[in-house]
Amino acid sequence: MNMDVVGAKSEPVTEIGMIALADGISVRRMVAQPESPKGTVILLHGFPETLYAWRGIARALADEYEVHTFDWPGYGLSTRPSPDAFSYAPSNYANLLRQYISAAGIDRSNLTIYATDISGLPTLLLALQEPDIARKIIVGDFAPFNRPDLMHPDLRDLKVKPLSEQIRETWNAAWNDLVEARGFGAGLPPEAQFDVAREFKDDMAQSWKHSDLTTMDAFYHYYSYFTRDEDYFEQRVGGFSAPVKVVWGELDPYIDKAMGVELAERLGAEFKLLPGIGHYPHNQAPEQVVAEIRDSFLP
């Protein structure tokens, strides 16, 4: 496997390259690790992100842990198969996460998964099927249940046609604005505004039209199956037994914190609200995310 090595021998090594999974799909991944890792962490991004959303956090955690992150199909430089071959549904992403854990040879018994936004439901769907998929799962700022009234109008409208097709067209036309500004500081008060690294923005911009299927197209197809997969999860949530913690931005403008509260209550899981934080805690307050992940490995 060809890898681009970033780092020195005296420091945790960061490698970026491709890994082949099933059905002709390959994903771009980043792996950071010390010489003797105490455990493994998988970091899973949201829309319209790529693995570069996690670069700083991965480096911070790699003093003790082997850290993996990858671009979902349709994002970054990962494969973008035809929707006829890969539906981009949350359930498809769940299967792909299983494949990745196996292909990467990760020890589930000492693994923490941190999943946000589009990654939250796929991770829980996988854990529903395989409760031992990780020693700890941390999820937040996503929609596990079909509660349109708790979602931003644009996200709610993506669930129904023809509104979803109009949003797809509009967002594809305005892709540069989406990459540069949307979702990061948007919707937050002035004192909570923040920006993300130029390297991260450039990667999102360069990969948006990586093939005939754009990042927005992948998001659109994900949402076309979203309600179905939310309903599937809710019908079976009573049998969920994997160890989960729910972490939510208090000021999330896209998914109301009430969604997180309900999820935690129904899972019997710990819920943590992050004051002054929006939809992307890992971008706005990475030190808090690092602390949550480190705490997940405590006895």
Nearest CA-CA partner of 280 in 245, 246, 248, 244: 248
> What pLDDT, on a 0 to 100 scale, did the predictor assign at position 13?
82
Q: In which residue are the tokens 């949307």 written?
A: 182
> What pLDDT, on a 0 to 100 scale, did the predictor assign at position 137?
98
Classify residue 173 by burial, with Cβ atoms within 10 Å: 0-12, 13-18, 19+: exposed
- What SS3 class is residue 6? strand
Task: Check: CB of residue 273 under 8 Å from CB of residue 187.
Answer: no
Q: In which residue are the tokens 């979602």 written?
A: 151
Strands 66-70 and 270-274: unpaired
**Which tokens in the block code for residue 163?**
């509104």
Helices 215-224 & 198-208 angle (0-180, nearest 10): 80
Alpha-carbon distance of 195 to 180, in angstroms, equals: 9
Question: Residue 198: which residues within 8 A CB-CB, separation 6 or more?
Answer: none
Alpha-carbon distance of 107 to 39, in angstroms, equals: 8
Nearest CA-CA partner of 245 in 124, 92, 67: 124
Report, at the CATH architecture level, how domain 3-296 is classified. Answer: 3-Layer(aba) Sandwich (3.40)
> What pLDDT, on a 0 to 100 scale, did the predictor assign at position 181?
66
- Quick one: residue 76, left, alpha or beta (phi over 0 = left, psi -120 to 50 = alpha)? left
Buried b (16+ CB within 10 A) or exposed e, 275-298: eebbbbbbbbbbeebbebbbebbe
> What pLDDT, on a 0 to 100 scale, did the predictor assign at position 182?
57
**Which tokens in the block code for residue 182?**
């949307």
Task: Check: CB of residue 228 under 8 Å from CB of residue 258.
Answer: no
Nearest CA-CA partner of 197 in 184, 188, 207: 184
pLDDT (tens digit, 0 to 9) for every residue of the chain, 299 residues total? 334 434 444 467 889 999 999 999 999 999 999 989 999 999 999 999 999 999 999 999 999 999 999 999 999 999 999 999 999 999 999 999 999 999 999 999 999 999 999 999 999 999 999 999 999 999 999 999 999 999 999 999 999 999 999 999 999 999 988 887 655 888 899 999 999 999 999 999 999 999 999 999 999 999 999 999 999 999 999 999 999 999 999 999 999 999 999 999 999 999 999 999 999 999 999 999 999 999 999 98
Question: Which residues lie across from 68 on neighbouring strands?
Answer: 31, 42
Alpha-carbon distance of 123 to 44, in angstroms, equals: 9
Q: Where are the domains of the chain?
A: 3-296
